[in-house]
């Protein structure tokens, strides 16, 4: 069904579940504003379907899905629902104003899940799956059914279930490798079996959803495509439950780079891959490992002299992809302190961050100028850090006005901090084990907050002693775990900004909850 073909082969539908399965990564919760921002980025990326959340899970999740369905166009929005009336009604209530909204309902089919989790027999599961799809189909003609733990299920039973749910109105049937157990050859054979044994499979799109527990999610997804699947469920940076899901950027770039072997294409605008990856890691605080394929910091770095020499002579000697194709700029010198607003706006757009409002562009411009005054060479990474820092900032109930810190090996580390707290100026100073400890203590006193610092990391955005430092913290505050980020040429200031960013996120979550 819906096969589209062009000279590159058949179209593969990209179903993005960064906002749902991705958010199930430990510690990766995103607030409403961040989810909306990311959904806008996914539209720019031109994925086909955005799974915006699991509305029955919480009021917050419901509101996030509704906000996205109500306001985002030109992409199918879906939401997850277990196979029961309440979940499906709730999913629909959140989705109903969407553009071609899809209800995604799921039920396990493996004997392990039937016996221990559902305590149902196969006939009951079949009946419930059909009833749920019929109920969803009353609301929309765009219904997806997932057979949870399908890869460990009896295949003939999955065939029976898929045949029945397609008759009941499912237009996509999804075969998840929920536990990341499958290996590519086997997974491909399973998909081929479904293609050959479900009489009405031509009436639906066969989809796969792979987890990465054995590091095989992308390989399994590719094997499934070769066997007949036409939708892949994936996430940006491969984030997701446990070891994550199929990494969208890897799958898409394999299809693009090896179209000689794999006659498929996606509609993904690959030049938006890098900015999307950066946005996801900034929002979730889940940094990308340097050697990660496609978007890792080293993915296009050439260390050995022989390789560097080869690249200088002819890029393709050691590069199978052009970094520009994923939206990576050369990292070369860009603008300086005399650059105008227009030039900076053009550069931001050329880097793939083209959804910024005038107000956001203005604050990025001001920060850029401030940094250019103290930093000699401004490169794309500097601008990128400012964009992430400014644009993904939550409303600030705590704002840094000034910071003076003293440290050294023969002195008592002290920090004096001035803040705006709910619009009122407050100031204090503390002694700490080091300047950062003193700063955090003072901020805690001034804001009246109690939080536990779970994680602290500092990195340098570019080389050089005048480089911006980027600090990431993870805080536990009022039972919530949040991340906080800050960038500044002064590391203690970057740390203060990150800490305040975390506290502002807690306040924002609290305000969202009260609303």
Residue ranges binding ligand KIV (CB under 6 A)? 21, 80, 106, 146, 148, 174, 176, 178, 209, 211
d(CA 300, CA 315): 11
Give the max Cα distance, the chain: 80
Give the contacts of 198 (CB within 8 A, at least 6 positions apart).
Answer: 159, 162, 163, 166
- Whether 210 contacts 193, CB under 8 Å: no
Please identify which residue in the block is written with the tokens 């005048």: 466
Task: Give me the least distance between CB of 153 and ligand KIV, in Å please.
Answer: 11
Judged by CB under 5 A, the stretch of 19-27, 114-122, 216-224, 319-327 that binds Zn ion is 19-27
Closer to ligand KIV by Cβ: residue 80 or 496: 80
61 touches which of Zn ion, ligand KIV, none (CB within 5 to 8 A by kind)? Answer: none
d(CA 496, CA 84): 47
Give the contacts of 30 (CB within 8 A, at least 6 positions apart).
Answer: 19, 23, 38, 283, 284
Closer to ligand KIV by Cβ: residue 20 or 497: 20
148 touches which of ligand KIV, Zn ion, none (CB within 5 to 8 A by kind)? Answer: ligand KIV
Closer to Zn ion by Cβ: residue 242 or 376: 242
Closer to ligand KIV by Cβ: residue 54 or 353: 54
DSSP 46: T
Q: What are the two backbone dihedrals, phi and then psi, of residue 399, each rounded to the nearest 5 degrees? A: -125, 135
Task: Give me the least distance between CB of 91 and ligand KIV, in Å please.
Answer: 12
Closer to Zn ion by Cβ: residue 248 or 506: 248
Q: Looking at 14, 19, 21, 153, which residue binds Zn ion (CB under 5 A)?
A: 21
Measured in residues, the chain has a length of 515
Judged by CB under 5 A, the stretch of 14-22, 46-54, 299-307, 345-353 that binds Zn ion is 14-22
146 touches which of ligand KIV, Zn ion, none (CB within 5 to 8 A by kind)? Answer: ligand KIV
d(CA 234, CA 248): 5
Both structure tokens of 304: 């050995």
Closer to ligand KIV by Cβ: residue 146 or 172: 146
CA 223 from centroid of its chain's CA atoms: 24
Task: Give me the least distance between CB of 175 and Zn ion, in Å please.
Answer: 12
- Residues within window 76-115 making contact with Zn ion, judged by CB under 5 A: none
- Whether 118 contacts 125, CB under 8 Å: yes
* Residue 163 binds Zn ion, judged by CB under 5 A: no
What residues line the site for Zn ion (CB under 5 A)?
21
């Amino acid at each position: 069904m819906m096969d589209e073909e062009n000279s590159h082969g058949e179209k593969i539908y990209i179903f993005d579940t960064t906002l749902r399965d991705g958010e199930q990564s430990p510690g990766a919760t995103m607030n409403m504003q961040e989810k909306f921002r990311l959904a806008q980025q996914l539209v720019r990326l031109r994925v086909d379907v955005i799974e915006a959340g699991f509305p029955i899970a919480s009021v917050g999740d419901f509101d996030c899905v509704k906000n996205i369905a109500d306001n985002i166009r030109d992409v199918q929005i879906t939401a997850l629902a277990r196979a029961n009336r309440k979940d499906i009604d709730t999913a629909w209530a959140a989705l109903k104003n969407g553009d071609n909204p899809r209800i995604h309902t799921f039920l396990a089919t493996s004997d392990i899940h039937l016996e221990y989790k559902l305590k149902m027999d196969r006939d009951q599961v079949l009946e419930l799956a059909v009833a749920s799809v019929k109920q969803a189909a009353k609301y929309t003609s765009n219904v997806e059914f997932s057979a949870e733990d399908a890869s460990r299920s009896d295949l003939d039973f999955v065939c029976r279930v898929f045949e029945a749910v397609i008759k009941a109105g499912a237009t996509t049937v999804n075969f998840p490798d929920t536990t990341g157990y499958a290996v590519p050859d086997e997974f491909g054979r399973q998909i081929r079996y479904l293609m050959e044994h479900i009489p009405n499979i031509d009436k639906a799109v066969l989809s796969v959803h792979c987890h990465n527990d054995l590091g095989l999610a992308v390989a399994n997804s590719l094997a499934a495509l070769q066997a007949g699947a036409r939708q892949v469920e994936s996430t940006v940076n491969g984030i997701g439950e446990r070891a994550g899901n199929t990494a969208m950027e890897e799958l898409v770039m394999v299809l693009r780079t090896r179209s000689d072997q794999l006659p498929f294409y996606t509609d993904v605008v690959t030049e938006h891959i890098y900015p999307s990856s950066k946005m996801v890691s900034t929002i979730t605080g889940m940094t990308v490992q340097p050697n990660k394929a496609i978007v890792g910091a080293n993915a296009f770095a050439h260390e050995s002299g022989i390789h560097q020499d080869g690249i200088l002579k002819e890029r393709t000697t050691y590069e199978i992809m052009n970094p520009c194709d994923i939206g990576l700029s050369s990292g070369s010198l860009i603008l300086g302190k005399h650059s105008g607003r227009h030039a900076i706006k053009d550069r931001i757009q050329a880097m793939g961050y083209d959804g910024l409002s005038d107000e956001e562009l203005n604050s990025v411009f001001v920060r850029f100028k401030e940094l250019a005054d103290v930093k000699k060479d401004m490169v794309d990474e500097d601008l990128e850090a400012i964009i992430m820092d400014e644009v993904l900032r939550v409303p600030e109930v705590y704002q840094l006005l000034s910071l003076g810190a003293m440290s050294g090996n023969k002195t008592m580390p002290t920090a004096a901090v001035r803040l705006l707290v709910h619009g009122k100026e407050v100031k204090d100073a503390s002694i700490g084990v080091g300047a950062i400890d003193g700063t955090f203590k003072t901020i805690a006193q001034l804001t009246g907050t109690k939080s536990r610092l779970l994680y602290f990391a500092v990195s340098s955005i570019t080389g050089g002693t005048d480089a911006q430092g980027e600090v990431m913290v993870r805080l536990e505050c009022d039972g919530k775990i949040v991340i906080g980020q800050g960038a500044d040429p002064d590391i203690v200031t970057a740390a203060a900004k990150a800490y305040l960013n975390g506290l502002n996120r807690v306040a924002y979550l609290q305000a969202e909850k009260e609303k």
